[in-house]
Amino acid sequence: MTNTEIREFIENAIQENKVMLFMKGTPDAPACGFSARAAGCLNSLGVKYAALDILPDPRIREELSGLSGWPTIPQLFVDGELLGGSDIVLEMYESGELAEALGVEAPQDPAPVEEPPPVQQPIGLENRLG
Amino acid sequence: MPSAHELKERIETALPGSRVSVEDLTGGGDHFRAEVESDRFTGLSRIQQHKLIYDVFGDEVGGAIHALSIKTSTPSGGTGR
């Protein structure tokens, strides 16, 4: 794939999926604590989301950050707009704003989401969209 | 390798009048958490607030600074949206 094709793939993913998470690893096997935290917030709200592992090719991250202007992973897009990275997602989860932005009911008492472990876990090779 | 103190000074220089605390989460000089209170954040979305901090460090975020966790607030207490 050329860089342009990767960029177009990313743009399409953002446009076609109401809730699109770019992360290290997968929701089942996150490869970084920050990605795990963002996925955990979405999981506990029970929303359907698409996730793309950025690790298989370094150009995915380069192109993603190039178009979003956001340097770190994860990145959560809702309705085609960047909502935030892991800190913003967690803050909005805890305040109920994330549920509001996603159009789901906010839990009365949001389940705590684990703080990320500082050391990166082994990289999962599986890459999936869905 | 950047230190928490160095990060704090660079944020304070970039955002004069801000109140900044930076913690080195692992002691290894690559995972940091910054809490920043600045009136520059007033009226900005969280995304824009965090980008102001990321912009201080440019390519170092994701490089020498492997992870930078950010919490922003304004002196009036709001976190914006």
Which CATH number belongs to the domain containing residue A64 in this structure?
3.40.30.10
Instruction: Find the domain containing B22 and state its range.
Output: 4-73
User: Is residue A129, in this structure, part of any structural domain at all?
Assistant: no
* pLDDT tens digits along A2-18: 999 999 999 999 999 99
B-proximal residues of A, 70-109, CB under 8 Å: 70-72, 82-88, 91-92, 97
> What ipTM does the predicted assembly reach?
0.82
How far apart (Å, rounded) are the C-alpha atoms in residues B66 and B60?
8
- Whether A59 is covered by a domain: the verdict is yes
- Name the percent of chain A lying above pLDDT 70: 85
Is any Cβ of chain B less than 8 angstroms from the Cβ of A58?
Answer: no
| Whole-number Å distance between alpha carbons of B64 and B10 | 15
Span A53-88, pLDDT tens digits: 999 999 999 999 999 999 999 999 999 999 999 999
Q: Is residue A78 part of a domain?
A: yes
Confidence at residue A127, expressed as pLDDT on a 0 to 100 scale: 43
**∠ Cα A55 A59 A64 (to 5°):** 90
Exposed (0-12), middle (13-18) or buried (19+): which is A128, by Cβ within 10 Å?
exposed
Beta sheet of B67-73, edge-to-edge order? B19-24, B31-37, B67-73
State the residue range of the domain holding A18. Answer: 3-102
Residue A113 confidence (pLDDT): 74
In a domain, B78, yes or no: no
Let me know if residue B81 belongs to a domain: no
> Chain A closest CA to B17's CA: distance in Å?
23
Number of domain units in chain B: 1
Look up the CATH number of the domain holding residue B29. Answer: 3.30.300.90
Is B79 a member of any domain?
A: no
Domains of chain A: total: 1
- pLDDT band for A97, please (50, 70, 90 cuts): very high
